[in-house]
Amino acid sequence: MKVLAAMSGGVDSAVAAARAVDAGHEVVGVHLALSRQRGTLRTGSRGCCTIEDSMDARRAANLLGIPFYVWDFSERFAADVVDDFVAEYAAGRTPNPCLRCNEKIKFAALMEKALALGFDAVATGHYASVVRDADGHPELHRAATWAKDQSYVLGVLTHAQLEHAMFPLGDTPSKDLVRAEAAARGLTVAQKPDSHDICFIPDGDTRGWLADRVDLAEGAILDRSGARVGTHPGALAFTVGQRKGLDIGFPAADGKPRYVLEIRPKTNEVVVGPREALAIGELAGTRVTWAGMPPADPATAFDCEVQVRAHGDPVPATAALRDGELVVTLREPLDGVAPGQSAVLYVGTRVLGQCTIDRTVSAVPATV
């Protein structure tokens, strides 16, 4: 096959490309330039897709003996990921930019261009697996190692995208083995730190970054009864589940800490309450996609597990599609679920599909 290997400049994508070469595929490496600041340099393990990462990817491609290109996707990234991130926060939601990048950039824009150029597949260094069912349809499954599993952030992939997705690291038991393999191959990125945080906010100060892009105004902090208990500097500076920074000035009647339960951007209000009120019994959302073949009858409730964070634990649930909205009823409450997060459904190790959460229903009465 003719394979386009997305090379971020890290150890995972370098080894994934190497394995694609070993498998006998005709491999071409590509690094995506996503930042409009061409001279951006990486600092430790913060950020990715910088000029340093581009040079690391080029060195790996040269060692593997494969052609290498840099494609400028900065405008598409700014519109589909960065602007979306700002708009979601402005709407009082908590987005996942890594998931959106996979959806809009790596497996939409990149794959579209790859297929148009005659490539058969796009290979990445994600820890996940594509498995064929009895009828030959692709399914997305968790990686062999739970600690590195990245199937959650790939939950937005569709049947058509999975047909052309390749994850050479999916069956690798540990990241240590990947680093050891990279060292044995002579790849200079063998011990390069993993990137973390949001790549376009490399200093990790999300609140400060948003303050320059979203208007913040003082507003009311309310308890669950609607009584005003304080003033905040800007509702969009808070996230559901947050405890610090409320600055209410006096304790709750029960003496327990208060947490952000809800953000109301239209009225610029923040609702707070006890920790137990963060427990969610039901969630629902739109922007529903199925990772492979959908359930035979998604309108009929089916058993599954749901995961709402990249490294969160899945909980048992039932789900059903109702008037275009995926409604998920939890058998065990989940804490601190916020609109804008993605709810990814699993059946065993298989990723069934996902939705962007629009609303939640508390498992605890408002009197608590």
- State the catalytic residues: 101, 199
Q: Report the largest interatomic distance among the alpha carbons of the chain, rounded to a whole angstrom.
A: 68
Q: Token digits for 338?
A: 């916020």
Query: Is the fold of 2-125+168-185 the same as that of 215-273?
Result: no
Q: What is the CA radius of gyration of the chain?
A: 22
Pick the CATH number of 215-273 from 3.50.30.30, 2.30.30.280, 3.30.360.10, 3.90.105.10: 2.30.30.280
Per DSSP, 250 falls in state: S
Q: Token digits for 293?
A: 């073949």
The secondary structure of the chain in percent helix, strand, coil, rounded to multiples of 5, reads 25, 30, 45
CATH superfamily of domain region 2-125+168-185: HUPs (3.40.50.620)
Instruction: Note the pLDDT of residue 42.
Output: 47
Domain extents for the chain? 2-125+168-185, 215-273, 277-362
- Pick from 200, 205, 109, 95: which is nearest to 153 by CA? 95
How many CA within 13 A on the CB side of residue 182? 28
Quote the CA–CA distance of 325 and 282 in Å, as a whole number: 13
Per DSSP, 363 falls in state: S
Q: How confident is the prediction along the chain (368 residues), in pLDDT tens digits per residue?
A: 999 999 999 999 999 999 999 999 999 999 998 876 554 544 544 456 677 889 999 999 999 999 999 999 989 999 999 999 988 888 878 888 888 898 899 888 999 999 999 999 999 999 999 999 999 999 999 998 877 899 999 999 999 999 999 999 999 988 899 999 999 999 999 998 877 668 888 777 777 888 788 877 888 999 888 989 888 888 777 888 888 878 787 777 777 888 999 888 878 899 998 888 899 999 999 999 999 999 999 999 999 999 999 888 999 999 999 998 999 999 999 988 988 999 999 999 999 999 999 999 888 766 54
Quote the CA–CA distance of 364 and 94 in Å, as a whole number: 22
Alpha helices per DSSP H over the chain: 11-22, 51-64, 74-77, 83-90, 97-101, 110-116, 159-162, 175-185, 206-211
Which residue is it, tokens 């922007």?
A: 287
CATH of domain 277-362: 2.40.30.10
Q: Is 127 helix (H, G, I), strand (E, B) or coil?
A: coil
